Structure 1
């Protein structure tokens, strides 16, 4: 047996009830970091690392939100923005993850952003990519809801090869230096 291999083991009901164990184990999968925002009279933002692309035709993305989160109620209004954070934006990620931050427009004080041109949701300045979306579908996800959005607009940093993305893995923010060479454009 390879000493570096992981031995499969059946989860016990105690394991499934141990949120810390689940969080630590799920955290071995590194993710990018985004800020999801809604506009309107009471703008709101939250850090999310559950973001992923879903489809090219139609262009769809998804992320998951805890049913108890303020954003869970606000996102149901139908339109939202997503900003994919760059490595230098760890402070922005921490700010929007802080449950003690001010609510409403005050939570954007000191944060560089522009309102999206179509829906007006705040989009974080300096982000690697920014999306404006319309809520397309929701799905039950246990204690979270899976929100699927249809892209209405997008923009991205002009020189992505010179920029690093902000990553979250094993409970910590990290960055990964970009590779040299052209990015892949095909699918496997």
Structure 2
């Protein structure tokens, strides 16, 4: 008989897969807000769709359904932003916002930013999968992404050397 897999074992196994680090940003009463997400993926090119997985208990989870939001891929020097937007206050951090009328707020100096419109929400266990139509993109090709593996932030150049 197979033993039951624990949440800690599964989390540990999932952590062995390197992911990019994103911050999903949106607006509440004219003020920019955001939260860190490492569960982001492309879904379709036709129509252009992307997906973010959000814990149903997250305060922002209900704000994305059918709404405009941006997915910001953080650059290797933006670890403080990742921490700030996952609830770990970073003293003296200045957040650079790009505010464009009719669009979701974006972060400055990111590798890429995807302007999205909520398309479909799929309930999956303790998370909601927010599938969004990608309306436009901004890419900074000279920037390298911030990665996350084994519970650590790493860069693409040194990621697998540091993660071991």
Could you say which TM-score interval applies, normalised by the shorter chain?
0.7 to 0.9
Aligned partner of 1:150 in structure 2 is 133
Query: 2:150 matched to 1:166?
Result: no
Could you give the per-residue CA deviations for residues 94-146 of structure 1, whole angstroms, max 9, x where no partner exists? 11011x65xxxxxxx72111124532x22110001001111111111100000
Aligned partner of 1:72 in structure 2 is 61
Runs of 5+ consecutive residues of structure 2 not aligned to the other structure = 159-164
Question: What is the TM-score normalised by the length of structure 1?
Answer: 0.76
Runs of 5+ consecutive residues of structure 1 not aligned to the other structure = 1-9, 102-108, 179-188
- Choose from 10, 18, 24 the match for 1:30: 18
- Choose from 3, 21, 33 the match for 1:12: 3
- Choose from 104, 116, 129 the match for 2:112: 129
Could you give the per-residue CA deviations for residues 50-74 of structure 1, whole angstroms, max 9, x where no partner exists? 0111111111000100000011021
Q: How many corresponding residue pairs?
A: 155
The structure having more radius of gyration, on CA atoms, is 1
Which structure 1 residue ranges, 4+ long, deviate > 4 Å from structure 2?
none
The structure with more strand, counted as a fraction of residues: 2
Quick one: distance in 1 between partners of 2:22 and 2:38? 6
Q: How does 1:42-121 map to 2 (within 5 A)?
A: 42-98=31-87, 101=89, 110-119=94-103, 121=104
The structure with more helix, counted as a fraction of residues: 1
Quick one: distance in 2 between partners of 1:115 and 1:170? 34
Residues 87 and 164, structure 1, Cα contact 8 Å, conserved in 2: yes
